[in-house]
Structure 1
Amino acid sequence: MGFTHLNEQGNPTMVNVAEKQVSTRTATARSIVALPPEVLAHLTDGQLQTKKGPVFQVAIIAGIMAAKKTGELIPLCHPLGLDNCDINISINEAQEVVIDCTAGITAKTGVEMEALVGASMAALTIYDMCKAMSHDIVIKETRLMAKTGGKRDFKRA
Protein backbone atom coordinates (compact mmCIF):
# COMPACT_ATOMS: atom_id res chain seq x y z
CA MET A 1 0.00 0.00 0.00
CA GLY A 2 1.33 3.44 -0.95
CA PHE A 3 1.16 6.64 1.02
CA THR A 4 -2.43 7.87 1.13
CA HIS A 5 -1.46 11.52 1.49
CA LEU A 6 0.55 11.68 -1.74
CA ASN A 7 -1.01 12.03 -5.20
CA GLU A 8 0.26 10.42 -8.42
CA GLN A 9 2.86 13.18 -8.81
CA GLY A 10 4.16 12.66 -5.26
CA ASN A 11 2.64 15.90 -3.97
CA PRO A 12 0.81 16.16 -0.64
CA THR A 13 -2.95 15.74 -0.86
CA MET A 14 -5.90 15.31 1.44
CA VAL A 15 -7.42 11.82 1.16
CA ASN A 16 -10.64 11.89 -0.86
CA VAL A 17 -13.31 10.29 1.33
CA ALA A 18 -16.21 11.01 -1.04
CA GLU A 19 -16.74 7.34 -1.90
CA LYS A 20 -16.36 6.01 1.64
CA GLN A 21 -19.35 4.80 3.61
CA VAL A 22 -20.53 6.71 6.66
CA SER A 23 -20.08 4.63 9.80
CA THR A 24 -19.76 5.10 13.52
CA ARG A 25 -16.09 5.49 14.37
CA THR A 26 -14.25 5.74 17.66
CA ALA A 27 -10.63 5.98 18.69
CA THR A 28 -8.88 5.92 22.04
CA ALA A 29 -5.37 7.26 22.55
CA ARG A 30 -3.25 7.23 25.68
CA SER A 31 -0.51 9.54 26.93
CA ILE A 32 1.57 8.73 29.98
CA VAL A 33 3.23 11.44 32.05
CA ALA A 34 5.87 10.68 34.69
CA LEU A 35 5.90 13.24 37.48
CA PRO A 36 8.83 13.57 39.87
CA PRO A 37 8.28 13.09 43.63
CA GLU A 38 8.15 16.83 44.36
CA VAL A 39 5.14 17.15 42.03
CA LEU A 40 3.50 13.91 43.17
CA ALA A 41 3.68 15.25 46.75
CA HIS A 42 0.86 17.65 45.76
CA LEU A 43 -1.43 14.76 44.73
CA THR A 44 -4.44 14.48 47.05
CA ASP A 45 -7.33 12.05 46.52
CA GLY A 46 -6.31 11.49 42.90
CA GLN A 47 -6.25 15.23 42.15
CA LEU A 48 -3.35 17.60 41.59
CA GLN A 49 -3.75 21.20 42.69
CA THR A 50 -1.24 23.95 41.83
CA LYS A 51 -1.21 27.74 42.00
CA LYS A 52 -2.52 27.67 38.42
CA GLY A 53 -5.56 25.65 39.49
CA PRO A 54 -6.84 22.06 39.34
CA VAL A 55 -4.37 20.40 36.95
CA PHE A 56 -6.36 17.42 35.74
CA GLN A 57 -9.57 19.37 35.18
CA VAL A 58 -7.75 22.02 33.13
CA ALA A 59 -5.93 19.27 31.19
CA ILE A 60 -9.27 17.61 30.33
CA ILE A 61 -10.65 20.87 28.95
CA ALA A 62 -7.45 21.56 26.98
CA GLY A 63 -7.49 18.05 25.51
CA ILE A 64 -11.10 18.32 24.40
CA MET A 65 -10.50 21.75 22.88
CA ALA A 66 -7.44 20.46 20.99
CA ALA A 67 -9.22 17.35 19.71
CA LYS A 68 -11.91 19.60 18.23
CA LYS A 69 -9.21 21.61 16.41
CA THR A 70 -7.19 18.69 15.02
CA GLY A 71 -8.04 19.57 11.40
CA GLU A 72 -6.54 23.03 11.98
CA LEU A 73 -3.36 21.66 13.55
CA ILE A 74 -2.45 18.77 11.23
CA PRO A 75 -2.26 19.97 7.62
CA LEU A 76 -3.89 17.05 5.78
CA CYS A 77 -6.46 16.04 8.41
CA HIS A 78 -10.12 16.44 7.55
CA PRO A 79 -11.91 19.01 9.69
CA LEU A 80 -14.40 17.02 11.74
CA GLY A 81 -17.31 17.91 13.99
CA LEU A 82 -16.86 15.36 16.75
CA ASP A 83 -19.91 13.66 18.21
CA ASN A 84 -18.04 12.96 21.42
CA CYS A 85 -14.72 13.50 23.15
CA ASP A 86 -14.07 12.07 26.60
CA ILE A 87 -10.85 12.34 28.57
CA ASN A 88 -10.11 10.29 31.66
CA ILE A 89 -7.06 10.94 33.85
CA SER A 90 -5.86 8.46 36.46
CA ILE A 91 -2.72 7.44 38.33
CA ASN A 92 -1.34 3.96 37.58
CA GLU A 93 0.51 1.58 39.91
CA ALA A 94 3.85 3.10 38.81
CA GLN A 95 2.60 6.52 40.03
CA GLU A 96 2.39 7.85 36.48
CA VAL A 97 -0.43 9.97 35.10
CA VAL A 98 -2.43 8.05 32.50
CA ILE A 99 -4.52 10.11 30.10
CA ASP A 100 -7.07 8.30 27.94
CA CYS A 101 -8.83 10.31 25.24
CA THR A 102 -11.72 8.74 23.34
CA ALA A 103 -13.19 10.53 20.35
CA GLY A 104 -16.28 9.47 18.42
CA ILE A 105 -18.04 10.43 15.22
CA THR A 106 -20.44 9.12 12.61
CA ALA A 107 -18.64 10.02 9.39
CA LYS A 108 -16.64 8.87 6.35
CA THR A 109 -13.27 9.15 8.11
CA GLY A 110 -11.88 8.11 11.46
CA VAL A 111 -10.91 10.00 14.57
CA GLU A 112 -7.55 8.51 15.49
CA MET A 113 -5.76 11.83 15.09
CA GLU A 114 -8.36 13.63 17.20
CA ALA A 115 -7.86 11.15 20.04
CA LEU A 116 -4.05 11.40 19.75
CA VAL A 117 -4.13 15.21 19.71
CA GLY A 118 -6.51 15.30 22.69
CA ALA A 119 -4.32 12.99 24.79
CA SER A 120 -1.17 14.87 23.75
CA MET A 121 -2.54 18.30 24.62
CA ALA A 122 -3.80 17.09 27.98
CA ALA A 123 -0.26 15.79 28.70
CA LEU A 124 1.30 19.08 27.61
CA THR A 125 -1.12 20.98 29.81
CA ILE A 126 -0.13 18.89 32.83
CA TYR A 127 3.51 19.70 32.05
CA ASP A 128 2.73 23.41 31.74
CA MET A 129 0.78 23.57 34.98
CA CYS A 130 3.42 21.67 36.98
CA LYS A 131 6.69 22.96 35.49
CA ALA A 132 7.09 25.58 38.23
CA MET A 133 7.56 22.69 40.68
CA SER A 134 9.98 20.72 38.50
CA HIS A 135 11.27 20.41 34.95
CA ASP A 136 11.86 16.68 35.46
CA ILE A 137 8.39 15.89 34.10
CA VAL A 138 8.51 13.36 31.26
CA ILE A 139 5.80 12.76 28.69
CA LYS A 140 6.74 9.13 28.13
CA GLU A 141 4.48 8.09 25.31
CA THR A 142 1.40 8.80 23.31
CA ARG A 143 -0.14 6.00 21.27
CA LEU A 144 -3.34 4.71 19.77
CA MET A 145 -4.97 2.13 22.02
CA ALA A 146 -8.05 1.22 19.97
CA LYS A 147 -10.20 2.21 17.03
CA THR A 148 -13.50 1.03 15.63
CA GLY A 149 -15.24 1.67 12.33
CA GLY A 150 -13.81 2.12 8.87
CA LYS A 151 -11.90 -0.67 7.09
CA ARG A 152 -10.82 -2.49 10.24
CA ASP A 153 -10.96 -2.30 13.99
CA PHE A 154 -7.82 -2.20 16.13
CA LYS A 155 -7.20 -2.89 19.81
CA ARG A 156 -3.80 -2.82 21.47
CA ALA A 157 -3.14 -5.80 23.75
Structure 2
Amino acid sequence: MNYSNKHITLGVDKDMRRLPLTEKHTTEDVYFNATFTPPLPAIDKFNANRFIYGSLSEDTISIIGRHVFDESMDFLSFVLPRDLKNGTHPIVQWGEGGVSALVATSTVPYDGRDGELTITQDKNRNTAHATFNFDITYAGDTYKVNGELFVVATGPL
Protein backbone atom coordinates (compact mmCIF):
# COMPACT_ATOMS: atom_id res chain seq x y z
CA MET A 1 0.00 0.00 0.00
CA ASN A 2 1.58 3.27 -1.01
CA TYR A 3 1.77 6.35 1.21
CA SER A 4 -1.20 8.20 -0.29
CA ASN A 5 -3.39 5.08 -0.45
CA LYS A 6 -2.68 4.40 3.24
CA HIS A 7 -3.95 7.85 4.18
CA ILE A 8 -7.04 7.47 2.00
CA THR A 9 -7.94 4.18 3.72
CA LEU A 10 -7.61 6.01 7.06
CA GLY A 11 -9.92 8.80 5.90
CA VAL A 12 -7.26 11.52 6.32
CA ASP A 13 -4.98 13.57 4.10
CA LYS A 14 -1.17 13.55 4.27
CA ASP A 15 -1.33 16.07 7.15
CA MET A 16 -3.69 13.75 9.08
CA ARG A 17 -6.69 16.08 8.61
CA ARG A 18 -10.13 14.56 8.06
CA LEU A 19 -11.20 13.94 4.50
CA PRO A 20 -14.78 15.02 3.74
CA LEU A 21 -16.33 11.55 3.98
CA THR A 22 -19.77 10.46 5.10
CA GLU A 23 -19.63 9.88 8.85
CA LYS A 24 -22.31 8.73 11.25
CA HIS A 25 -22.61 9.60 14.91
CA THR A 26 -22.32 6.89 17.51
CA THR A 27 -25.28 5.96 19.72
CA GLU A 28 -25.89 3.46 22.51
CA ASP A 29 -26.45 0.77 19.87
CA VAL A 30 -23.73 1.84 17.41
CA TYR A 31 -20.36 2.31 19.08
CA PHE A 32 -16.57 2.16 18.79
CA ASN A 33 -14.80 2.10 22.17
CA ALA A 34 -11.34 1.20 23.47
CA THR A 35 -9.17 1.43 26.57
CA PHE A 36 -5.41 1.87 26.86
CA THR A 37 -3.31 0.09 29.49
CA PRO A 38 -1.54 1.88 30.99
CA PRO A 39 -3.53 5.01 30.13
CA LEU A 40 -2.04 6.83 27.15
CA PRO A 41 -1.01 10.38 28.19
CA ALA A 42 -3.40 11.94 25.66
CA ILE A 43 -6.17 9.28 25.85
CA ASP A 44 -7.04 6.75 28.54
CA LYS A 45 -10.42 5.74 27.11
CA PHE A 46 -11.46 6.10 23.50
CA ASN A 47 -15.16 6.62 22.83
CA ALA A 48 -15.73 7.55 19.22
CA ASN A 49 -18.42 10.14 18.59
CA ARG A 50 -18.33 9.48 14.81
CA PHE A 51 -17.44 6.53 12.63
CA ILE A 52 -16.91 5.40 9.07
CA TYR A 53 -17.47 1.86 7.79
CA GLY A 54 -17.00 1.48 4.07
CA SER A 55 -14.64 0.84 1.22
CA LEU A 56 -12.28 3.80 0.76
CA SER A 57 -10.06 1.97 -1.74
CA GLU A 58 -10.50 -0.71 -4.39
CA ASP A 59 -9.41 -3.72 -2.32
CA THR A 60 -10.01 -2.72 1.32
CA ILE A 61 -12.73 -1.88 3.82
CA SER A 62 -12.05 0.72 6.50
CA ILE A 63 -13.58 0.83 9.97
CA ILE A 64 -12.69 4.16 11.55
CA GLY A 65 -13.77 5.49 14.93
CA ARG A 66 -13.24 9.22 15.41
CA HIS A 67 -13.43 11.33 18.51
CA VAL A 68 -13.78 14.81 17.05
CA PHE A 69 -13.27 17.85 19.27
CA ASP A 70 -12.74 21.47 18.27
CA GLU A 71 -10.55 21.39 15.15
CA SER A 72 -8.74 18.17 16.14
CA MET A 73 -9.56 14.51 16.41
CA ASP A 74 -8.23 11.26 17.80
CA PHE A 75 -9.02 8.14 15.83
CA LEU A 76 -8.66 4.40 15.84
CA SER A 77 -8.79 2.62 12.50
CA PHE A 78 -8.79 -0.86 11.03
CA VAL A 79 -8.16 -1.53 7.35
CA LEU A 80 -9.32 -4.97 6.19
CA PRO A 81 -8.92 -6.85 2.94
CA ARG A 82 -12.26 -6.63 1.10
CA ASP A 83 -12.57 -10.44 1.04
CA LEU A 84 -11.87 -10.93 4.78
CA LYS A 85 -13.89 -13.79 6.27
CA ASN A 86 -15.63 -13.60 9.64
CA GLY A 87 -13.39 -14.84 12.46
CA THR A 88 -10.22 -13.97 14.33
CA HIS A 89 -7.36 -12.37 12.41
CA PRO A 90 -3.88 -11.19 13.48
CA ILE A 91 -3.01 -7.51 13.30
CA VAL A 92 -0.23 -7.10 10.69
CA GLN A 93 1.92 -4.23 9.45
CA TRP A 94 0.60 -1.96 6.71
CA GLY A 95 0.97 -3.44 3.25
CA GLU A 96 1.15 -7.08 4.35
CA GLY A 97 -2.35 -7.78 3.03
CA GLY A 98 -4.07 -8.57 6.32
CA VAL A 99 -5.81 -6.57 9.02
CA SER A 100 -3.92 -3.43 10.04
CA ALA A 101 -4.67 -1.13 12.96
CA LEU A 102 -3.69 2.43 13.73
CA VAL A 103 -4.28 4.85 16.61
CA ALA A 104 -3.78 8.58 16.09
CA THR A 105 -3.80 11.33 18.67
CA SER A 106 -4.32 14.64 16.90
CA THR A 107 -1.77 14.28 14.09
CA VAL A 108 0.55 11.57 15.46
CA PRO A 109 -0.12 8.01 14.19
CA TYR A 110 0.85 4.81 16.04
CA ASP A 111 0.72 1.50 14.14
CA GLY A 112 -0.86 -1.47 15.91
CA ARG A 113 0.99 -4.78 16.30
CA ASP A 114 0.96 -8.04 18.27
CA GLY A 115 -2.79 -8.44 18.52
CA GLU A 116 -5.95 -9.60 16.83
CA LEU A 117 -9.33 -8.55 15.57
CA THR A 118 -12.31 -10.87 15.90
CA ILE A 119 -14.96 -9.68 13.46
CA THR A 120 -18.40 -10.61 12.19
CA GLN A 121 -19.58 -8.68 9.15
CA ASP A 122 -23.24 -9.13 8.25
CA LYS A 123 -23.39 -8.42 4.52
CA ASN A 124 -27.22 -8.46 4.53
CA ARG A 125 -27.56 -5.85 7.28
CA ASN A 126 -24.33 -3.98 6.34
CA THR A 127 -23.04 -4.16 9.91
CA ALA A 128 -19.81 -5.16 11.60
CA HIS A 129 -19.23 -6.26 15.19
CA ALA A 130 -15.68 -6.74 16.43
CA THR A 131 -13.56 -7.10 19.50
CA PHE A 132 -9.88 -6.26 19.33
CA ASN A 133 -6.62 -6.12 21.20
CA PHE A 134 -3.20 -4.98 20.05
CA ASP A 135 -0.13 -3.03 21.18
CA ILE A 136 1.20 0.38 20.18
CA THR A 137 4.46 2.07 21.12
CA TYR A 138 4.29 5.64 22.41
CA ALA A 139 7.44 7.49 23.56
CA GLY A 140 9.29 4.17 23.81
CA ASP A 141 6.67 2.48 26.02
CA THR A 142 4.22 -0.26 25.05
CA TYR A 143 0.50 0.32 25.54
CA LYS A 144 -2.21 -2.33 25.21
CA VAL A 145 -5.35 -1.36 23.31
CA ASN A 146 -8.55 -3.36 23.97
CA GLY A 147 -11.98 -2.60 22.65
CA GLU A 148 -15.20 -3.39 20.90
CA LEU A 149 -17.22 -1.88 18.08
CA PHE A 150 -20.56 -2.27 16.36
CA VAL A 151 -21.02 -0.13 13.26
CA VAL A 152 -23.31 0.18 10.25
CA ALA A 153 -22.13 0.97 6.73
CA THR A 154 -21.62 4.64 5.92
CA GLY A 155 -20.83 3.90 2.27
CA PRO A 156 -20.39 1.04 -0.20
CA LEU A 157 -18.70 -2.07 1.10
- TM-score w.r.t. structure 1 length? 0.26
More helix by percentage: 1
More strand by percentage: 2
Give the structure with higher Rg (CA): 1
